[in-house]
Amino acid sequence: MASATSAPAFYRFFFKNLDPLVAMYGVYLNFFAQEMAVTGPAPNSHYDPDQVFIFFQCGGLALSIAFITAAIHRATEDLKVWRIIQFAILLADLAALVGIYLSLSTQNRLAPSTWTDDDKGLAGSYTALTLIRLAFILKIGFPQESGSEEKQKV
């Protein structure tokens, strides 16, 4: 079993400490600041309280991700488990990036010059999160493996 201690310190710190905090911001927006969650990325949109279930569903997912990233990364040092978790969250990040693109496209605001500060923050943070997860999954920045254990399994 490969140990997460072989992962660069940046990944270990990020996934154990920063990632749960980022997810908690999603919890805050969806549970307590729903209007801001709507108008930030879509300034001409209006919050519809009849759709509150969508926000609580998204907030619940963010809460689940916050718990998973905070707890499991502390409960196990199994690098395989860490990669599975990060791949699953990467799927959600990719869906969010598609959603950001579609939202901007629908509003005819694909040109970065038309983006609000919220757009830049949202697109920038999801892009950064996606790249960090992808780099981790692809073992970018990891020390070179000696290959002895892996080659013996082949």
pLDDT digits (tens, 9 = 90+) for 108-151: 999 999 999 999 999 999 999 999 999 999 999 999 877 655 54
Please state which of the ranges 2-6, 31-35, 83-87 shows the lowest mean pLDDT: 2-6
Mean predicted confidence (pLDDT) in 57-70: 97
Please state which of the ranges 2-16, 61-75, 109-123 shows the lowest mean pLDDT: 2-16
Question: CA-CA-CA-CA torsion for 130, 135, 138, 140, nearest 10 degrees?
Answer: 180
154 has a pLDDT exceeding 70: no
pLDDT of the residue at 6? 84
Q: How far apart are CA 58 and CA 41, in angstroms?
A: 15
pLDDT of the residue at 145? 76
| Res. 153 pLDDT band, cuts 50 70 90 | very low
pLDDT of the residue at 44? 84
pTM score, two decimals? Answer: 0.87
pLDDT tens column, 19-55? 999 999 999 999 999 999 999 888 888 999 999 999 9
Q: How far apart are CA 96 and CA 145, in angstroms?
A: 33
Q: For the chain, what is the total number of helices (H) and then of strands (E)?
A: 7, 0
